[in-house]
Amino acid sequence: MKVLILPLSSSEYLTHCRATLRRHTHIYIMVMSHKVIHTIDEFNAYFRQSSTHPLVAVGDLSQADLALFLPLDFEMYCIVLMDENFGELVKGGKTMRYQPGTVFSLKPGQVVSMNLDYTTKPRGRMLAFRPELLEKSGLGRDFYMFDFFSSDVVEALELSETERGVLLNCFANIQTELHTPPDYLSTHMLRLGIGHLLSYCKRFFERQFRELRSDRGGLAGRLDEMVDSYLSSGMPAQHGQPTVAWCAEQFHLTPNYFGELVRRELHVTAQDYIQGKIVSAAQSLLAGTQMSVGEIAEELGFAYPNHFTRMFHRRVGISPLAYRSQHL
């Protein structure tokens, strides 16, 4: 018996396998999950290059083994600049096509892969550094600022040509340091170089965020209208309360990005905003209708009236019945 072990999401291997199975019905297929890259040496092996530092490496995607684009968890922090559209990026179970000059980030535990377009050669740069580099350092102290490592795939950074040039220069500086004969300042210089690269990424993400916020224009008004319309439509009784994920979808954003927009524009969390709208709708129904508390709870998407009563009391300070008695 012959066994073929195939990586998950590898369409090329699966196509080959189907053809093989047509010829050999006794072959069995085992599908394995993603591979974990633990060390810089393992990372550099994909680029056919030797390691010059145990915690940091920069790879040229045009020199990479195509196995790099199978599902992998790098167990390290990575910044990837895609300089060519050579397929679809898959990160966190989400797929995106991107423009040349797009940057995305990875943190330990995230799995990434590419659905490759084999007619186009990969081009770009990839920085990888182990979490140990952050220990007892200024880079580690300031690392909280680089929250883009938690971004979803659709929140990748699209660079202007000027910004792309800045980041390429940062990559080049780090690579130059990696090939400088090591001394007691080597790790310090690498931390500084990586700090510069990450700081520029943060600046450029902020620029993109401002533009997106401007393009969305009138977030508060649009959000008020959208949520009010949903709550008064009878839909909550059938489909439940509006959620952060649902609101984000209406704006074609991820929940994380939508939540950040709401926090910056309205100075509350998205969840607090939604609960405030639900309570406001409840207050109108309590004061303006003869509906029972149970009926109002059902109308607003609560599975149990006591859940509604608890939330109302927590936000208003009195029970729904006490509120009604004050507004008769």
CATH number at residue 43: 2.60.120.280
Question: Which of 186, 214, 242 is the last residue in one of the domains?
Answer: 214
Residues 69 and 7 grouped into a single domain: no
- Are 51 and 185 found together in one domain? yes
CATH of the domain at 267: 1.10.10.60
What 3-state class would DSSP assign to 191? helix
Clarify whether residues 26 and 42 are in a common domain: no
What's the pTM? 0.64
**Cα 166-143-53 angle, rounded to 5 deg:** 70
Of 263, 264, 247, 267, residue with least CA distance to 255? 247
- Specify whether 24 is located in the same domain as 61: no
CA count, 13 A, side-chain hemisphere, 283: 16
With DSSP H G I counted as helix, E B as strand and the rest as coil, what are the percentages for the chain, rounded to 5?
55, 15, 30
Mind listing the pLDDT tens digit for each residue in 150-185? 765 446 788 999 999 999 999 999 999 999 999 999
pLDDT in tens, the chain (328 residues): 444 444 444 444 444 444 444 444 444 444 447 899 999 999 999 999 999 999 999 999 999 999 999 999 999 999 999 999 999 888 877 777 788 999 989 999 989 999 999 999 999 999 999 999 999 999 999 998 998 887 654 467 889 999 999 999 999 999 999 999 999 999 999 999 999 999 999 999 888 877 766 655 567 788 888 999 999 998 999 999 999 989 888 876 778 878 888 888 888 999 999 999 999 999 999 998 999 999 999 999 999 999 999 999 999 999 999 999 998 7
Encoded tokens for 273:
């905003």
Give the range of the structural domain holding residue 181, as residue numbers without chain letter.
Answer: 35-214
Judge if 107 and 89 occupy the same domain.
yes
Q: Where would I find the H helices in the chain?
A: 11-23, 40-45, 138-142, 161-178, 186-216, 219-231, 235-239, 244-250, 255-266, 270-288, 293-299, 305-316, 320-326
How far apart CA 75 and CA 129 sit, in angstroms, is 9
How, if at all, do strands 157-158 and 102-106 pair? antiparallel
Q: Which residues contact 15 (CB under 8 A, 6 or more apart)?
A: none
- Of the three residues 169, 191, 214, the one that is the final residue of a domain is 214
- Please enumerate in sequence order all residues whose Cβ is within 8 A of that of 26, keeping only pairs 6 or more positions apart, or say none: 1, 2
pLDDT of residue 151: 60
| pLDDT for res 269 | 93
Strands 77-82 and 124-129: antiparallel
Q: Which two tokens stand for residue 325?
A: 């008695």
326/18 Cα distance (integer angstroms): 72
How crowded is residue 178: how many other Cβ atoms within 10 Å of its Cβ?
19
28 and 40 together in one domain: no
Count other Cβ atoms within 10 Å, centred on residue 29.
14
Instruction: Supply the pLDDT for residue 216.
Output: 52
- Same domain, yes or no: 43 and 99: yes
| 202 and 86 together in one domain | yes
Q: How far apart are CA 264 and CA 241, in angstroms?
A: 23
pLDDT at 71: 93
Between the alpha carbon of residue 236 and those of residues 153, 233, 285, the distances in Å are: 30, 8, 14
pLDDT tens digits, 16-46: 444 444 444 444 444 447 899 999 999 999 9
Residues 147 and 240 in one domain: no
**Same domain membership, residue 202 and residue 294:** no
Q: What pLDDT is attached to residue 18?
A: 45
Domain final residue, candidates 214, 244, 278: 214
Indicate the number of domains in the chain. 3
3-state secondary structure (DSSP) of residue 54 = coil
Verify that 133 and 49 share a domain, yes or no: yes
Q: Report the C-alpha gap between 168 and 125 in whole angstroms.
A: 8
Q: How many residues does the chain have?
A: 328
| Residue among 283, 251, 279, 278 at smallest CA distance from 265 | 251
Give the Cα-Cα-Cα angle 79, 31, 124 (nearest 5 degrees).
Answer: 20
Do 122 and 133 lie in a common domain? yes
